[in-house]
Structure 1
């Protein structure tokens, strides 16, 4: 397999993993006050998995510090984005909220074209345009019979903030693989450094005195952490291979498109969020866009 094929394989596998992340995140948000304990326990498990199974290689201190200068802000932005999404989901349906936040995939794609020399071929532009267009029918009341406040000002404001934060996280995550001065050993520090940021969830647990109720959230946290861990490894492998093929901006759009499809299937069968024709059309546009990105 060439670099492009390997990158796409990792990308689609990551999309499935991220769909699972969405499922267990959705379950975590339903735990009310236990949500903060869920996020901390998940972060702790993710930290342990990372430092046991993906221990970073020895690298020059200067290079590790450069990676840290990018990955710490990326990790913080991502954690804040997921907290903001949690607050938004208190006022709207999970399917629509997840879809809007995942639309932040547009940010790294544009960054790849504007700053990192990714080729803006007609096929890639068309594919990205289809994925972007799919967000309109999916976001505009794609699920019938939702609560009256689902598109309230608070819901839209919080979801848009989550969109920006997660988009920033995805874009910053692209930068290390584009730095020619960074060695492979230095790049191996990306996931371990990100894992440190999540431990900050201990703050809300202590401040709110919610504790960590392992009996209630233990298994959800374990599976969530495992999926996040595998997804982090997968997306960076995808970025590395696609970067060599000058298509690093494709990784996030394709993976997010797959996760959107997976999560909507979950919402349909498990959460009983029925899809309108508009939502089905949006899923079709997203899959068509992913196909164009894959073959371009």
Structure 2
């Protein structure tokens, strides 16, 4: 069955109808229109309340993590360096989308320049790839700490941690760099309306009136390869970690050792489960309403940055103690 043109599939969202004979050419410098959450425009103000709350918690929590690690010298180790990288990436990821989202919800400011749209798209996917790499680095740290604790400080030295961090950042920058260049070369003549609250790669690509298979195949390959390799490495690390834990002689020793990596495990689950759910919904949820797809996409970008500092704050005693000292020292 021939696929319905994208501009016609979203026609019920537009204030006017479009046809192939009544389209306008949009140049590379054109302004795109973000609809926010299509079909729920009247509820935008109410939807903004939980979104704004999640963003405020994410900003406060991640800045608190950075402040605590910087102040407490006992936390200057590989695990907390990688945690700081995760906090920075969470701040960039949520900040790259929510301010524009709120301007749509509150002020109906839907216009976004084509170049700004590509920049936003690049940061979203680039930082997401970096976060996946940070989870791998954290898994490596936990593997060495539990399976070879006597050599942990000798293996994960500060220069080694810096090299791992640099590799994670460069990988994200390089593998996502083709995204904006591939999207920029396409002509856009169907519509300049994006039925989304931010410039998501696939949503922008669907507006092009050209063969986008190269860009589509590349994005799918990156998502599959990066996700698969990272998940495989993390799974292999935790298989070895669990084997080491179950080989311990007492139950108390097993629980105490597992507690040192439980925060990382919960953070991984909080990040990957929404991604997997969203992927399955896009692939098999053809009958799911468009506004639900957009809501889930927004939640995927806001919930993990909010949960990460909460999980580490609740599960890590050193962070709890440092936060308590910081609050009491400030006279609170």
Looking at both structures, which has the greater relative contact order when contacts are Cα pairs under 8 Å and sequence separation is at least 6? 1
- Whichever of the two has the greater Rg, that structure is 2
Bigger fraction of residues in helix: 1
